[in-house]
Amino acid sequence: MPGSQARSRARDRNNILNRPEFLSLNQNPHSSKGGPEQSNTSNSGPGSGLAGEAPRWPEQDCMQLNPSFGGIAVSSLLAIDISLSKRLGVCVGVRGPAGAPGLRSMISLLALTGHFLPWITGTLICLWRSSTMAGQEVLLNLLLALVLDLMTVAGMQKLVKRRGPWDVPPTFLDYIAMDVYSFPAAHASRAIMVSKFLLTHLVLAVPLRILLYLWAFLVGVSRVLLGKHHLSDVGCGFALGFLHFSLVESVWLDSATCQTLMSIGSLCWTPLL
C-alpha cells in the first residue's frame, strides 16, 4: 500500500546506518556478490580477480567510534603539559622580560651549574688531587654516577626524540653533553642525582642540605624557563636522577676496587706524562 511504502521509506531515511560513512558496516565483507563498492575494492590490488577471494577494505572504513578513556586522558595531559611549558618559557630568545634584562643571564648561569662539563671536570680534578683512600672511593663512584647518567639520558633522548616546547636549537654545550632533545631533562636528572649523592656521603648542616635540594629543583625549573624542556621532561628527569642514585648505591665500588682502578689509570697515563 502507498501508506506502508511511505512509512518504510521514512524509516530508511532515519536509519543512522544508511549514512555514507556507515555504508561499509552494512555490507558483508565475505560476500562474493556485492554492490559496486565491493566490486571496486575487490578489483584493487594484485590477484583480486580470483573468485571467492575476500575483498580488501580501505583503512578509512575502519572508524574508531569509541576512543578509549586512557587515550583521551593522555592526550589531554600532553596538551596541558605543552601549554603550561610554553607559558613558563619566559626567557626564550627575544621573549625575555623587558623589565629585567639580566634575568635571562641569571637563569642561564643557574642552568649551567647543572651541566655535565663542570661536574665531570671538577670530579676529575678532585680525584687527581685527592690523597686519601676514602676520598678517592667517593669521587670515583661519583664519576661512575655521572657517566651512567650521561649515557642513560643520551640514549633515552635518542630513542624518544622529543622536541622542546619552543624548539630551541641546541647550543655547543648541549652537543658536548649529548643533550640535544627534550625528554628526559638531563640537567634535572644530574642535579637530583648529585644532590642525593652529596647529601648521603657528606656531613652537611641543615641549611646547606636545604640549599642543595633547592638548587636541584631550581636547575630543573631553569630549563623550563629557557624553553628547553617541558614540565613532564623535568619531572621524568628528577625521577631518573633518583633511579641513578639508587643504582650507583647498589653497585658501590669498595676501596680495594677503586685503588685497583686508580692504579690501572695511573699506568695508562704514565707514558703520556
Q: Which residues are catalytic?
A: 187, 229
Maximum alpha-carbon separation in the chain: 109
CB 231 within 8 A of CB 184: no
> For residue 172, what is its C-alpha cell?
655547543
> For residue 239, what is its C-alpha cell?
625521577
Report which residue type is found at 182: S
CB 225 within 8 A of CB 176: no
Please, which residues have CB within 8 angstroms of residue 199's CB and are 6 or more apart in sequence? 209, 212, 213
Q: State in Å, rounded, how far the first CA of the chain is from the last one.
A: 109
Comparing CA positions, the residue from 246, 252, 228, 140 lying closest to residue 192 is 246
Comparing CA positions, the residue from 246, 52, 256 lying closest to residue 137 is 256
